[in-house]
Structure 1
Amino acid sequence: MEKKGDALVVVAIDFGTTYSGYAYSFRAEYEKDHTKVYSNSDWRSGDGLATTKTPTVILFSEDKQFCKFGYEAEQKYNTLLEEEEADGWRYFRRVDKITKNLMIEDEQGKPMSALIVFAESIRYLKDQFLQNTQVQGLKFDPNNDIHWVLTVPAIWTDRAKQFMREAAKQAGIPDDMLTLAYEPEAAALYCKELTVQKKEGAESSSLSSFEPGQQFLVLDCGGGTVDVTAYQVQNDGDLRELQRPTGGPWGGTYVDNQYTTFLKELFGADVWSEYSKENPEDVLEIQRRFEAKKKSVNASADDQTTISFPSSLFAKYQIAKNCSSFEECLKKSEFAKTIKVKKDKLRFDHQLVKAFFRVPIDSIVTHVKEIINESKKKGRDIKTILMVGGFSDSSILSQRIISEFKRITVICPTEAVNAIVKGAVIFGHNPNLISERISPLTYGISVNTTFNNKVHPAKLKVVYDGKEMCTDIFQPIVQIGHPIRVGKEIFKHTCLPTRALDTEATIEIYESSSECPMYTIDKGVRRLGDLTVSIPNTSKGKNRPIKVEVSFGYTEIVVCAFEEGTETQTTATFDCLLN
Structure 2
Amino acid sequence: MATESVLQEHRIVVGLDYGTTYSGTAHGDTSQKSIDNIKVIRRWPGKERRDEVKCPSDIAYGADGTYRWGYLIPPGLARLAWAKLDLDEDNFYENQEENSEEYVDLQDPFSETPEPAEDEFPMAEGMRYNPLNKSPVDVVADYLTALYDVIMSNLRRAQGENFINRTAIDWVMTVPAVWSEKAQALTKEAASRAGIGQREKDRLFLLSEPEAAAVYAISELYQRDNTRRNDPNMLNVGDTFVLCDAGGGTVDLISYKVGQLQPSLGLSEVAVGSGAKCGSTFVDRNLLKLVRRKIGDDRFQILCQKQDGMVLNKMVSEFEGVKRSFGSSYLPGSVSYLPMHGFANDPAAGIIEGQFELTHDDLKECFDPIMEQIIELIQGQIDAICDTGSIPKYVFLVGGFGESDYLLSRLSTHKFGRAGQIEIINPDDAWSAVSRGAVLRGLEGSLVTNRRCRRNYGTRINTVFDPTIHHDEDAFYSTDTGMKMARNQVSWIVEKGADTDSNTRFKLKCGTTFQKGEKLRRGATLVASDLDLAPHSYRDKSVHDLCFLMADLSMVPESEFDSVNINGQACLSAEFTIEMAFESAEIKFQLYFKDNCYGQVKTTFH
Fold shared by both chains (TM-score > 0.5): yes
Shift of 1:211: 2.4
Q: Is 1:55 paired with 2:48?
A: no
Q: Is 1:171 paired with 2:201?
A: no
Q: 1:71 to 1:498 in 2, by over 3 A?
A: same
Q: Which whole-Å deviations, capped at 9, do the CAs of 1:451-491 have from their partners, x for residues lacking one?
A: 67884756574757676665554222211111121x21123
Secondary structure of 1:147's counterpart equals strand
Distance in 2, Cα, partners of 1:3 & 1:246 = 26
Q: Is 1:478 paired with 2:501?
A: no
TM-align CA RMSD: 3.6
Find the counterpart in structure 2 of residue 531 from structure 1: 550
Q: Which whole-Å deviations, capped at 9, do the CAs of 1:233-274 have from their partners, x for residues lacking one?
A: 112521111122212222111212222333344555544554
Shift of 1:301: 5.5
> After the TM superposition, which residues 312-351 of structure 1 pair with which residues of structure 2 at under 5 Å, given as runs?
313=341, 316-318=342-344, 326=345, 329-330=346-347, 333=348, 348-351=358-361
Structure 2 residue corresponding to 1:439, chosen from 453, 462, 473:
453
Structure 2 residue corresponding to 1:358, chosen from 354, 368, 373:
368
> After the TM superposition, which residues 27-426 of structure 1 pair with which residues of structure 2 at under 5 Å, given as runs?
27-30=30-33, 33-43=34-44, 50-63=51-64, 65-75=65-75, 78=77, 91-95=79-83, 96-97=85-86, 99=89, 100=91, 107-108=128-129, 111-139=133-161, 145-174=168-197, 177-200=203-226, 208-235=233-260, 237-267=265-295, 269-271=297-299, 273-274=301-302, 277-278=306-307, 283-299=312-328, 302-310=331-339, 313=341, 316-318=342-344, 326=345, 329-330=346-347, 333=348, 348-405=358-415, 407-426=421-440
Distance in 2, Cα, partners of 1:429 & 1:208 = 29
Q: Does the 8 Å CA contact 1:508/1:529 hold for their aligned counterparts?
A: yes
Q: Does the 8 Å CA contact 1:438/1:483 hold for their aligned counterparts?
A: yes
Q: Which whole-Å deviations, capped at 9, do the CAs of 1:83-105 have from their partners, x for residues lacking one?
A: xxxxxxxx311212455479998
Q: Which whole-Å deviations, capped at 9, do the CAs of 1:353-403 have from their partners, x for residues lacking one?
A: 222211000121123223322332231321110001111111111101000
Shift of 1:407: 3.0
Worse-superposed segment, 455-464 or 410-419: 455-464
Distance in 2, Cα, partners of 1:268 & 1:2 = 56
Q: Does the 8 Å CA contact 1:24/1:425 hold for their aligned counterparts?
A: yes
Q: Does the 8 Å CA contact 1:7/1:146 hold for their aligned counterparts?
A: no
Secondary structure of 1:432's counterpart equals coil
**Alignment size in residue pairs:** 540
Shift of 1:3: 8.2
Q: Which whole-Å deviations, capped at 9, do the CAs of 1:279-313 have from their partners, x for residues lacking one?
A: 86565443333212222222476344444555x82
Q: 1:491 to 1:144 in 2, by over 3 A?
A: farther
Q: Does the 8 Å CA contact 1:142/1:173 hold for their aligned counterparts?
A: no
Find the counterpart in structure 2 of residue 497 from structure 1: 512
Find the counterpart in structure 2 of residue 321 from structure 1: none
User: Structure 1: which 5+ residue stretches go unaligned?
Assistant: 82-90, 319-325
Worse-superposed segment, 282-291 or 348-357: 282-291
Paired amino acid for 1:53: K
Q: Does the 8 Å CA contact 2:246/2:400 hold for their aligned counterparts?
A: yes
Structure 2 residue corresponding to 1:510, chosen from 514, 522, 527:
527
Shift of 1:156: 0.9
Shift of 1:137: 4.6
User: TM-score of the superposition, structure 2-length normalised?
Assistant: 0.79
Q: Does the 8 Å CA contact 2:335/2:359 hold for their aligned counterparts?
A: no
Q: 1:97 to 1:552 in 2, by over 3 A?
A: closer
Q: 1:279 to 1:445 in 2, by over 3 A?
A: closer
User: Structure 2: which 5+ residue stretches go unaligned?
Assistant: 95-118, 566-571
Secondary structure of 1:121's counterpart equals helix
Distance in 2, Cα, partners of 1:184 & 1:300 = 29
